[in-house]
Chain A
Amino acid sequence: MLDRRLVQNFDWVLLLLLLLLAAISILNLYSATYATRDVGGSQVFFKQIYWFLIGFFVFLLMTTFNYYALERLAYPAYILMVALLVLVLLLGKVTSGSQRWLSLGPVSFQPSELAKIAMVIVLAKFFSEKRGHQGYRLRDLWQPLLLIAAPSVLILKEPDLGTALLLIVVCFSMILFVKVYWKSLVVLLLSALCVAPFIWLNLKSYQRMRILTFLRPDMDPFGAGYHINQSKIAIGSGLLWGKGFLNGTQTRLHFLPEQHTDFALSVLAEEWGFIGSVILLLIYLFLILWGLNIAKVSKDRFGSIMAVGVVALIFWQVVINVGMVTGLLPVVGIPLLLFSYGGSSLISTMAGMGLLMNISMRRFMFQ
């Protein structure tokens, strides 16, 4: 129930940050698809507005219940998520060689998006109940490691290397946050190093090639390498003030790959320059720090860890995408959250934001 205190505690800053990002995203998408507006480009633009509307609805929906309820739902949600990931491997649509989408009547979605949120909740549940006051030892961690392994392996099978890696990185961020003993950490790292060559030897040659070009795009000058080159030209040519709205030549002339999805940031950087890019980055930074603050003021472990999980989700997606378009990190298909075109990831992000809002709103309530 939304009583008066909840309204008083409504986190206006968080909502404002989201609205700001949505506005910039739509503006940028308008520019990115401007050249193709006669051939379906404007459709993309309007679709994204609808997605944001649906996203905000999901966001509000996630604030209507007390997040304590999620403690009870954590494991059932996890099981449902794993079941959906298995289902997608059995029945999923195959598009360009990978199986990521599940159709439910007219709606199709990616179960791997659901996996991100479900993992955050289930790990928060686990670590809030099992306490390691000064940190966890290896023997405390086998359960969460198994919990992480199942969806990661299933997503790798699709194959969706990017999302699987993101999931693993986010989960390990959470584990590091709840604190692990130094010795355990070293053992964990060493065992990972020992297993790696074994896995490598068992991969098929095309799988190895995929990982190698993932790590070194210049090995593939006609796919990823080309994209990175064009993206760097787009960003760099923005200079301090940018070429101006709708004036990005890289964008106009379609040198940018995937310019409304994975490389949407390059469009902004070209048209708004260093100033625009830094402002966007600072908005993200502010959003992330605000999320950490919510974790800090939350009155229980579950809420706090969950908030950190959502923050990790935002942080890593931003870092991976920005790193990718600027040529710092390998090319993976991770869109810039709340900014790139795409419904499935937007909905799951907004659900995560709703969780954050939920925790924030109930920070002063005692039961």
Chain B
Amino acid sequence: MRTSDFDPISIEVFARQLSKLTLFILLVFAILILRFWFLQIVNGSMYRAKSENNRIHLKDIPPFRGIILDRNGETLVDNRPSYDLYVVPEEVQNREQLLNRLNGLAELDPGAAEQKFDDISSRYPFRPICIKRDLSRNELALVETNRFNLPGVMIKVTPLRHYINGNFAAHLVGYLGEISEDQLKSGKYSDSKPGDLIGKSGMEWKWQPHLNGVRGGEQVEVDATGRKIRVMARKPPVPGANVCLTIDKGLQKVAEKALVGKNGSIVAIDPRNGEILALASSPSFDPNLFVGGIDKASWERIAFSSEFPLQNRALSGQYPPGSVFKIIVALAGLQEGIIDPKEEFVCHGVYYLGRRGYRCWKKWGHGKVNLHKALVESCDVYFYEMGKRLGVDKIAEYARRFGFGTVTGFDAVHEKAGLIPTRDWKLKRFGVPWQGGETLSTAIGQSFVLVTPIQMATFISAVFNGGIIYRPHATKWVGEKKAEKVFKFKPATAGRAEINTEHLERVKKALIGVVNEPHGTGGKAKLKDITVAGKTGTAQVVTLEKEKVFENEEEIPFQYRDHAWFVAVAPAERPRIAVATVIEHGGHGGSAAAPVAGQLISAYLEEPRKLIADDS
């Protein structure tokens, strides 16, 4: 006998259980049948009437996207109403006639409209089809006045993103775009539906979950003409949180104006905490173009331009730092004890390593130079010597201490890290050992060295705030009102460059000299009442060849001209603003970039504006 064969007791128990079960099942089925009786017989006529008149629609109520403000509470980005033209196919008697009439009133693409009709109308005759988004005032007036003649036409009002000042701070603020298939599938955008606009770059992207808000909806009963009769249920949308940026609208404007007609970038930050005061990248674009779908021509113009307007040069533009890098070499030399500030060195305009000569930018030389003069007048020969004494790996170590070679952490996704070369790196990358001459050009910020403007701003801040590397950030708070913040920024440091105070002080003094002493290279950034400190940099685009051919700067073809750098802080005694400026192919840092930095500092510190009140 198998263990599972029946014994008499089991049979009895099972039989009893089975009859109980049968009873239970009959009871449940009785309930189900009664339910059908109730729905179909008792209340049947009511439901029949409802089904004949079933015009119950679900309507989305999109939430208001949060507003973006500047540090002083000025609105930078908000929402404006968009009047969209819809047609309910079921209520259209003569499609062709209607489309023709509409075409006369509003400019539309009849082919696309026909297509939409064909796709949707047979399956969902009651679902309104969007014929045209964002009617102009004129078109809206024409459609509204001819409404009696247009059965089945309705106007829906939806909020549309509005970048008030056009391309103002476009790279920092970002733009919106239609959510992609992958993003929908990822589950990260749980409240989004196909066709929704989400932040694709900048702050719009970073704060997307907060800015977006929560969709609401309505169960609406509409009459035969598609007009709303009553709302049966309603879930109000929850507006998105507002985002207050740290940038100063006025300062940002000055920065953008300075870059008009040029390619380049300006980053201004508060050296005391890493707040971004202005962040400009040129050329720029108008994010309004992306709202509601960008047309093909505009997209091609923006995306495939040789000047890359979509690229945020402040974060991802990588340039050789040029002479600005001498600050690193000076600090490294002092800290390592290989530079005696009093030691004098004679510059004849050329430095020999073996048989090869390396030239100073000043053809006839600087004569006797010590550290101070070498920084003030940006003597290359002095720093060739110091670079040689330090070696490339020591230079790299100090550059890394100041945050070069890694992203600052402002926007880890879109930021570039730049490049700080070492012996190992070159061997790995090219399979060739490091050359002594490359150390010399590294010492003056050439060879393989690459930095981004935001790294430069962070770096010059650190030199003047005692070596603290603040992680740059552009958000003051995110929230409903200022009182109930979701997020409030606290300064975050990415590290500290351990340099003795006396060395920092010595370099600072030299950087004040750059702007304020008679032979300083940055004299064009000088201001009347405020002590500006800074350093020029001229980053060579093409080495050697051009020097031989062109004597005069104007003769150099534009694409071979040097990138001009200027980094600055002010007031030098107690800095409140640090600026990094790069002008692509601008020529000399002292002539092309220094005046721009001066303008910015003057605008921020000299003009009596409300932002000074913020400084308590």
- A→B interface (CB under 8 Å): 35-36, 38-39, 68, 71, 94, 97, 128-129, 131, 133-135, 177-179, 221-222, 225-226, 229-230, 232-240, 249-250, 253-255, 269-270, 273-274, 277-278, 281, 284-285, 288-289, 292, 295-296, 299-302, 304, 308, 315, 319, 322-323, 326, 328
Contacts and interface: CB of A to CB of B under 8 A. Distances in A.
A27 to B, nearest CB: 19
A94 to B, nearest CB: 7
A179 B500 CA distance: 83
Contacts of A179: 13, 17
A288 B17 contact: no
Contacts of B9: 133-134
A308 B233 CA distance: 44
A295 B35 contact: no
A239 B217 contact: no
A236 B46 contact: yes
Interface string B15-52: 10110011001101101110111011101111110111
A286 B344 CA distance: 108
A273 B41 CA distance: 9
B60 to A, nearest CB: 9
A36 B120 CA distance: 11
Given A133-B13, A278-B36, A233 B25 contact: no
Given A94-B185, A221-B233, A323-B32, A71 B123 contact: no
Interface string B34-74: 01110111011111101110101010000000000000000
Given A222-B217, A300-B6, A301-B6, A229 B36 contact: no
Given A236-B44, A249-B54, A278-B36, A285 B21 contact: no
Query: Which secondary structure dominates where chain B touches chain A?
Result: helix
Given A71-B4, A274-B40, A237 B47 contact: yes
Contacts of A328: 31-32, 35
Given A221-B233, A273-B40, A300-B5, A232 B47 contact: yes
6 contacts: A35-B123, A133-B13, A230-B54, A239-B45, A240-B44, A284-B29
Among B17, B29, B36, B232, which residue has the most Cβ atoms of chain A within 10 A?
A: B36
A292 B56 CA distance: 44
B227 interface: no
B122 A38 contact: yes
A145 to B, nearest CB: 20
Contacts of B44: 236-240, 274
A253 B125 contact: yes
Given A233-B47, A285-B25, 7 more contacts: A133-B10, A134-B13, A177-B21, A238-B40, A239-B44, A255-B56, A277-B40
B137 to A, nearest CB: 33
B56 A288 contact: no
A312 to B, nearest CB: 9
Contacts of A304: 6, 14
A239 B187 contact: no
Nearest to A133: B9
